[in-house]
Amino acid sequence: MHTKTLRELSLELSQRRISSVELTTAYLNRIERFEPQLNSFITLTPEHALAAAAAADASIQAGTAGPLTGIPIVQKDIFCTKDIKTSCGSKMLDNFISPYDATVVQQCHQAGMVMLGKTNMDEFAMGSSNETSYYGATTNPWDLTRVPGGSSGGSAAAVAARLAPIATATDTGGSIRQPASFCGVTGFKPSYGRVSRWGMIAFSSSMDQAGLIAPCAEDIAMVMNTIAGFDLRDSTSANIAVPDYTALLNQDIRGRRIGLPKEFFAGLEGTVADLVMQGAKALESLGAQLVDISLPHVHLSVPVYYVIAPAECSANLSRFDGVRFGHRCDAPKDLLDLYQRSRAEGFGAEVKRRIMVGTYVLSAGCYEDYYVKAQRVRRLIAHDFEQAFQAVDIILSPTSPGTAFKLGEKAADPISMYLSDIYTIATNLAGLPGISVPAGQVNGLPVGLQLTGKHFDEASVLNIAHRYQSITNWHTAIPENFA
């Protein structure tokens, strides 16, 4: 069962060739067998899952089921789940049992999906390797000595090892697309505002977005139909109609214009570049046109991001003060001591680093020179995309400059770690939809190809990704030890 796509599993369930309880049990057994090698989960919810599976089977029997009823899913531990621990990968929330479900979790539950557990992640979504998690690093199923990427490393590893058919994830600077690339799976970040952020623990509020990781674009389209859409409780939620993404997957892509930014390909050599260009040629063989474009300010994405994201995180994480929820230090001598020690004990090094950079760029004397300046450069970067999209429909690039690096290799060098997101960050600054699809392997390690679309044109991104996957089979590969 674990080698089947979500669409195939949906058919198996609807035609009653398997029950949801049987399917859920099969995945729980795989988790029990393989999870010790991966550490891709923070919390497993087997009783919850089997109860949901039984309810799904009753719905299928009664003829009231939908396409996702009975399908197992794993939720990144950044989404609040009612009565279930929600840690955000941090000691700060190690004791936090959420009193409510995030909108995304509610939507999956209402669709009859079966939650198997909460996946591991970089602490408060800050990281590109899943090494900053309080619960330990997750390993890459393709090579257990390497990182799965981050911050959605647990979700990517779990899907790559086929411990679940699909996972939710979040992306602020590449945290869906980069781990998807490193783990040989498909990872999709919708446009900012397309999916509700209510109940999704905030890191950088102008860039955070919920998305999905699955083996293929078709599976992602099925769940996007459920989680995309307006939410009254999220003031940044877009009130724009949601199309049927599955109905648009097989549209002919002849004549679609695919932009290749010269800034992303200049100086990129070797097999990653070759594989991404082969991917571009594959789309050309389907009738798409390749067009050279320029994004002149895109080289500034990383410094802009590392002003804005820390600034916003310093504001968002100020709520973790030991007063109302989360970690509190022992025997605080006064209120200041309570704040300072609770936060020092609760946060890891990378989170402290980013909070402090954010506090610095927002402080008196720095605010105009750093924060406002970065916002102006952000507009230049976003404008580059607007200009490019006058000439093209989609932009194609590598997802990451390389393949998964070794555990510990970049942990001591934050700048080197930050640069692994060099191709993904601009998409978040501009609020655009982006997907990473498997495009080959280098020395047995997956390489991802990234497609970025116009605002709220998720349909084109998923369509082109699906058509690419209809003539390639990189997305069907499963790591040998997890086959």
Partner 1 sequence: MSFDLDKIAHLSRIALSPEDRLALGPKLDTIVTMIDQLQAVNTDGIEAMVNPMVGPQRMRPDQVTEHDSHSQYQAVAPQVAAGLYLVPKVID
Q: What is the CA radius of gyration of the chain?
A: 21
Q: State yes or no: is 406 an active-site residue.
A: no
- Looking at 117-125, 175-183, 355-363, 471-479, which segment touches partner 1 (CB under 8 A)? 355-363
| Residues 224 and 462: beta-carbon distance below 8 Å | yes
What would the x/- binding string for partner 1 be over residues 138 to 177, using CB under 8 A? ----------------------------------------
Helix (H) or strand (E) holding 52: helix 46-62
When binding is defined by CB under 8 A, the residue of 73, 84, 355, 422 that contacts partner 1 is 355
The residue count for binding partner 1 (CB under 8 A) is 75
Task: Tell how strand 209-214 and strand 289-293 pair up.
Answer: unpaired
Q: Is 315 in the site for partner 1 (CB under 8 A)?
A: no
Crossing angle for the helix pair 46-62 and 20-38, nearest 10 degrees? 150
Judged by beta carbon, residue 377 or residue 477, the one nearer partner 1 is: 377
Which single residue is written with the structure tokens 């389907």? 286
Q: State yes or no: is 175 an active-site residue.
A: yes
Least gap, CB of 310 to partner 1 (angstroms): 8
Q: Is 356 in the site for partner 1 (CB under 8 A)?
A: yes
DSSP letters of 395-434?
Answer: EEEESSSSSPPBTTSSTT-HHHHHGGGTTTHHHHHHT--E
Site for partner 1 in 361-420 (CB under 8 A): 361, 363, 365-366, 369-370, 372-380, 382, 414-415, 418
Whole-number Å distance between alpha carbons of 200 and 433 = 18
When binding is defined by CB under 8 A, the residue of 332, 442, 472, 478 that contacts partner 1 is 332
Site for partner 1 in 260-299 (CB under 8 A): 297
Q: Is 96 in the site for partner 1 (CB under 8 A)?
A: yes
List the catalytic residue out of 19, 129, 151, 342: 151
Site for partner 1 in 437-466 (CB under 8 A): 455-456
Least gap, CB of 239 to partner 1 (angstroms): 8
Helix (H) or strand (E) holding 273: helix 270-285
| Residues 243 and 460: beta-carbon distance below 8 Å | no
Which single residue is written with the structure tokens 């590969």? 477
Judged by beta carbon, residue 131 or residue 143, the one nearer partner 1 is: 131
Q: State yes or no: is 76 an active-site residue.
A: yes
366: number of Cβ within 10 Å: 16
Q: Is 58 in the site for partner 1 (CB under 8 A)?
A: no
Least gap, CB of 139 to partner 1 (angstroms): 25
Least gap, CB of 73 to partner 1 (angstroms): 25
Task: Tell how strand 434-442 and strand 186-189 pair up.
Answer: antiparallel
Site for partner 1 in 181-210 (CB under 8 A): 192-193, 205-207
Which single residue is written with the structure tokens 């040998």? 480
When binding is defined by CB under 8 A, the residue of 273, 282, 302, 315 that contacts partner 1 is 302
| Residues 464 and 288: beta-carbon distance below 8 Å | yes
Helices and strands (H, E) in the chain, number of each type: 16, 11
Judged by beta carbon, residue 134 or residue 182, the one nearer partner 1 is: 134
Q: Is 343 in the site for partner 1 (CB under 8 A)?
A: yes
Q: Which two tokens stand for residue 250?
A: 């097989």
Active-site residue numbers?
76, 151, 175
